Chains A and B, each alone.
Chain A
């Protein structure tokens, strides 16, 4: 019997399970390397040469170069890892959320101050499908 991935129908959400962990391993290991200052310097000096050290897929590599934050998650990245790449670029968690949601920093921050995103209409994929959200 297969595993029941009952979390796959939560909209706008990736649950970082072992399958995603496997897919994203090289990408995530690259991201976490940027936690250390000497690595941040080396990456800043020559992104391409630094990325060559990690055997990630072409798509993952391109998503890093493009700083395509959602694509990074779609390809097996996890937010705690990709946030290290964001931190390298001077982007904090809240600014990153503004980018990933497509809301922009100000609208996102205003939503949080107003109490955050309500769970109403945001629990199941079919609720987003009906609203025409991706």
Chain B
């Protein structure tokens, strides 16, 4: 049977992708950002994931304002990196586990999550940057080491889905994966954040304390954390900090009982606080030993 064994929370700042693509990760500005992912890349390799279920948002790249789905599940065979205005990122095309994606779509809708099904889709930095930080440099002719099922969440037009809704969607994704008949190791990524505001006169807002308590509570106080109202994100973590609701999808897909394996936090990458955490189901850790 397919099983979800671990979760990754991770910012997806576009400038991180630009830094990797232009080979400046050793510069003093960027070095501390990437150092924190060295352990993560080793962990990712050892994890031998067959599939990454990747929760992210599109940044008015592939989805324009004509149609704004709250939850859009990638069911296409593959997803090419999109041109965001300065050419597509030179990273591999993302390949789907299409049969599992179809199974999840079917299961979620019967579980009363009325998601949108995407049979064609390109992906922006929201998806490709987490792939790059977790798997390292890959060129256009390389392949990502595992398959990816994208779940695209609207966090651009207010309101984003509530943290509670995201958390419960994570639980429904878990039920869907658990009922799939192939033996697969699935890791869930929740991406975005942490505190940042990109717009208007308050741009540049960073709230390290708030981010830290978010990371602290994710392991054992996750249910109460998922009840955080939108206004708290907007006021405390910046208008774009509301992206963090996507981390609750990841947390909901894990067991209640998890262990924090790794954490990284750094300010700034461009306008943003970079946050990252790795959580493992304790049950699956025992199974490994």
Contact = CB atoms under 8 A, between A and B. Distances in A.
A116 to B, nearest CB: 3
Given A15-B234, A122-B202, A93 B15 contact: yes
Contact of A87 (B85, B195, B198, B271): B85
A37 to B, nearest CB: 7
A63 to B, nearest CB: 14
B157 A17 contact: yes
A78 B60 contact: yes
Interface string A63-106: 00000001001000011110110011000111011001110000
A2 interface: no
A45 interface: no
B205 to A, nearest CB: 5
A117 B206 contact: yes
A36 interface: yes
B159 interface: yes
A17 B154 CA distance: 12
Interface in A94-134: 94, 96-97, 100-102, 108, 111-113, 115-119, 122-124, 133-134
Nearest to B63: A32
A12 interface: yes
B203 A115 contact: no
Interface string B180-222: 0000000000000001011111111111101000000000000
A7 B241 CA distance: 14
B168 to A, nearest CB: 23
Interface string A45-75: 0000000000000000000000000100100
B91 to A, nearest CB: 18
6 contacts: A13-B200, A15-B158, A25-B65, A80-B61, A100-B203, A116-B268
Interface of B: 14-15, 29, 59-61, 64-66, 68, 82-87, 156-159, 195, 197-208, 210, 230-231, 234-236, 239-240, 267-268, 270-271, 273
